[in-house]
Amino acid sequence: MITSVLVANRGEIACRVFRTCRESGIRTVAVYSDADANALHARVADTAVRLPGAAPADTYLDAGLIVKAAVASGADAVHPGYGFLSENADFARAVLDAGLVWIGPPPEAIEAMASKTRAKELMGLAPLGEVTEADLPVLVKAAAGGGGRGMRIVRRLEDLSAALESARSEAASAFGDGEVFVEPYVENGRHVEVQILADTHGTVWALGTRDCSLQRRHQKVIEESPAPGLSEQLTHELHTLAVRAARAVEYVGAGTVEFLVAGDKAHFLEMNTRLQVEHPVTEAVFGIDLVAEQIRVAEGHALADDPPRARGHAVEARLYAEDPARDWAPQTGTLHRFAVPESVRLDTGFTDGDDIGVHYDPMLAKLVAHAPTRAEAVRKLAGALERATLHGPVTNRDLLVRSLRHEEFTTARMDTGFYDRHLTDLACCGTGDPYAPLAAALADAHGRSRFGGWRNVPSRPQTKRYEAAGEEIEVHYRHTRAGLEADGVRVVHADAALVVLEVDGVRRNFEVTRYGDEIHVNAARLTALPRFPDPTAQHAPGSLLAPMPGTVVRVAEGLAVGATVEAGQPLLWLEAMKMEHKITAPSTGTLAALHAAPGQQVTVGALLAVVQPTS
């Protein structure tokens, strides 16, 4: 029997595994980098072991260091979570060689499926050889990849070379393996996958299907189970192929087989030899705990002959600290307040007051809703997200709510091109509630009339300026003998935390919370602007500023001051939160200054380069 589990991971998945371990009476051990010294997963574990350093390569990707931590802490088993070393066969062997229980598939199975090229060969498939115009569009993929990293869509033959170079660079950085391959890219396909669970006695379960078509940067955003609209015949085919893949490598434990579905035809993508981020939707539909089943299988227990019956529908949304309107730029800062309605399941690695740093993936949490029907589950999840309290950096919350309520999603007609078609409308929907800035101003003005805000003679209205969703907003109000007033509304109540406005006979409440210049009014996020702009904050025209803190991973080959550049030409690449971000020339002109070099750490707003526009 397993008595103590070390989770070789961090954040949300570590907390998720710890929850099951506690319910099972199993002691928990966390590992943490210096950047995660105060992280939730390190705080909630029974024991925590420091991994010196901050970079993943020095900490969560150091197999020897983690095995040493497991032995030192007295753990008798290791759960890899997902990402990092979860699909590393050498790490699995090192755990077993140390006399520990590996809560995962055999190293040989991991090895067989680790390379997407080898996995395709096992399934009787092969990547493209020399690419021609007739093959376009194609997808460049990292052979050892996952999470959307090392992937590039190529629609023009002349772009293939740059895409291969970029994908190799990102793959080598993320996985330590720069091997990439090319396969046909299926336009408007659906990403459908099958959860499998296998024991050491020859039983393999296929646990329904999941649709993960809503993706950004090839990373999933919204997932659901079962995948809607599949025929019984196609579902049966997917289950058969998934079980065949598992048996081909004598798989043990939880895994996922992924497909791209176009019409009634399924294209095998890959097999993930680990637990998936989206596993909670399968748990909700089948009423099981996959982590608990992983532990039971690792202890040698047999699965029942048949899996439990599915019931209802489940939908999951991934909440990210990122700005979809700014090319999904990751956000950092303090998460002041984070609470969601109890009607949904919350899996997270953050709590009030935690810092969101630059070193790791920007996912804050997963919210999961389960209901008897798809429509009810979607409505339940959208409502919970809308009512969630999120005080801190910009998130994709509004995008998620709008996506869940989009007609293409509610009618189950979505595919992997959903955000390519609809991002502009979904991410750039104005500043939200039009009365939120006024409520913020009135809350700020509370009590000032006693100290000179009110005048005995008519005067100009008071003015406040805010920034919301990239737009500047100016609001006006007055201090009067009767209290605070504003045109077009009746101020029923106003204090520092609550403003009640009546508009056309309808009374509305606004909860206001302020953290310095950051103000949250219900679900709206505002930034208070100074009355007079700071003249020292100005930059020359054509200045390229870092949109986020990160590391300069490379500069365009041959780029030097004085070079002529074209509008949209890539100049350099930043890596932040496990993703590469391309910095391009804002206009055609001459590179007047270059302040970035590979390996350089930069802060948000740092001057990277200056392009002098052509007259």
**C-alpha dihedral (245, 249, 251, 256), degrees to nearest 10:** -40
β-pairing, 471-480 with 483-485?
antiparallel
The DSSP 8-state label assigned to residue 70 in this structure reads H
Rounded CA separation 92/110 (Å): 9
Backbone angles phi, psi at 385, to 5 degrees: -60, -40
Rounded CA separation 437/471 (Å): 12
Strands (E), 187-289: 190-198, 204-216, 219-225, 253-262, 265-272
Rounded CA separation 382/371 (Å): 13
Tell me whether the omega of the peptide bond preceding residue 541 falls within 30 degrees of 0, making it cis.
no
Residue 146 neighbours by CB under 8 Å, 6+ apart: 83, 87, 175, 272
CB atoms within 10 A of CB 461: 12
Token pair in block for residue 391? 């005080």
Cα within 13 Å of Cα(340), Cβ side:
24
CB atoms within 10 A of CB 378: 22
Rounded CA separation 384/367 (Å): 8
Catalytic site includes residue 387: no
Token pair in block for residue 303? 């699965």
- Classify residue 95 by burial, with Cβ atoms within 10 Å: 0-12, 13-18, 19+: buried
Residues 542 and 612: beta-carbon distance below 8 Å = yes
Cα within 13 Å of Cα(353), Cβ side:
2
Look at the block and give the residue holding tokens 């801190």. Answer: 392
Residues 543 and 607: beta-carbon distance below 8 Å = yes
Of 528, 545, 547, 549, the closest CA to residue 537 belongs to 545
From 152, 274, 397, 525, active-site residue: 274
Token pair in block for residue 381? 């999840």
Token pair in block for residue 126? 């092969």
Amino acid letter for position 303 = L
Instruction: Write the Ramachandran bin of 407: left for phi over 0, alpha for psi from -120 to 50, otherwise beta.
Output: alpha
Rounded CA separation 11/42 (Å): 9
Of 293, 310, 282, the closest CA to residue 199 belongs to 293
List the catalytic residues. Answer: 274
